Structure 1
């Protein structure tokens, strides 16, 4: 294996996009209003509610107003950090109570295990919060996969289509670009990483159009 580290996206890469859109988002939309109402004084929740008020530019926004805004962000699939953090808290309850398990493609499970066994460091970079990422892999269909990963990155390190985000990830990994492989289904994300010299492979799982990047239909086809 010529790479020291592999960074992978989740939606459309390790997991079905529909798992997020048809399972996680609807669950959060149902449960989030009651959750923030009952947990608003929890320090972790309160901090995210304050972050929502800041983004809304309404310092005195009520819980009801925040709930309305959160549901709008969910409907629009906005990559808003406090929303992602609050969703992660709600999803934790869903995973722990067995309401659902995290979908991970079988080929992704097997190849992640293979790469890990070869000493490759594995990382996740997703717009979902680190907590949400960890929950999906901890409560996956294949069991707890979190021991495979060395770290997680979310929007706190930057937007996934910004070159600066990948520069920050390289700084965290302390590796030269050519020792890192980035896997995603989204062309703009791959473009940003490639501009720094990071190797890229585009996963073409759901018939999305291919771009200039190397492509793979599944993790077995990702060149080592």
Structure 2
């Protein structure tokens, strides 16, 4: 079985531990609604404007010139969200917006009910757990800290975002293994995306596809598929 040789369980978030619906119907709309307030309140932080203006040069479909005004930056960020872009600067901005929402009580994340018991079983077995998501590390921590099941951050030792590379790039998983001082083969990665599993496997990291309600259909593959974590370590 995959879990017998596993030292660390690496978790994707969206569609794996958290419903896609929560991300796309709660988190993304919340950030869209609050971009204008964010840019109005952080106008002094020109780094955000500079990075977004630079990023706009690569968006050939976006025909408007992006300026440093709150309105222009807001409009461009809404466009990026609509295209589901994984830009680090966008994720950082969203993370800051969500932080305020979580801390104020406006936001509370949804986690699949089988996740907390599985994390507890991992801890009791002496194994390790970490997270790798396209959302910023800050956003990842917020999802697990402010969830309906309570604070789950106690179960994770590390968080990784696209600073280590894209999730469909094999080198990203190599870097994660190196940072964790583990052999790639001792890591078991849970994801809902075949291409991410392919990239992990190319790096020597073993993968399992998680099939949750609302997840997108995947191309044919030979990976083990589970519907919930009760199928692991049971």
TM range (shorter): over 0.9
Q: Which residue of 146, 161, 168 maps to 1:154? A: 161
User: TM-score, normalization: structure 1?
Assistant: 0.93
**Structure 2 alignment gaps of length 5 or more:** 58-64
- The offset of 1:61, in angstroms, is 4.1
Q: Check if 1:171 corresponds to 2:178.
A: yes
- The offset of 1:111, in angstroms, is 0.1
- Corresponding residue of 1:181: 188
Q: Distance in 1 between matches of 2:227 and 2:66?
A: 47
Q: Distance in 2 between matches of 1:211 and 1:185?
A: 12
- Corresponding residue of 2:229: 219
- Corresponding residue of 1:28: 31
- The offset of 1:205, in angstroms, is 1.1
User: TM-score, normalization: structure 2?
Assistant: 0.89
- Corresponding residue of 2:55: 55
Deviations 1:69-107 (A, max 9, x none): 111001111111100000000001111111121111111
- The offset of 1:22, in angstroms, is 0.5
3-state DSSP of counterpart to 2:157: strand
**Structure 1 alignment gaps of length 5 or more:** none
Change (3 A) 1:28 1:96: same
| Contact in 1 for aligned 2:208/2:226 (Cα 8 Å) | yes
| Contact in 1 for aligned 2:49/2:68 (Cα 8 Å) | no
- The offset of 1:178, in angstroms, is 1.4
3-state DSSP of counterpart to 2:159: strand
Say what the alpha-carbon RMSD is for the aligned residues.
1.7
Q: Check if 1:80 corresponds to 2:83.
A: no
Q: Which residue of 74, 87, 104 maps to 1:67? A: 74
Q: Distance in 1 between matches of 2:128 and 2:43?
A: 38
| Contact in 1 for aligned 2:128/2:157 (Cα 8 Å) | yes
Q: Distance in 1 between matches of 2:182 and 2:66?
A: 42
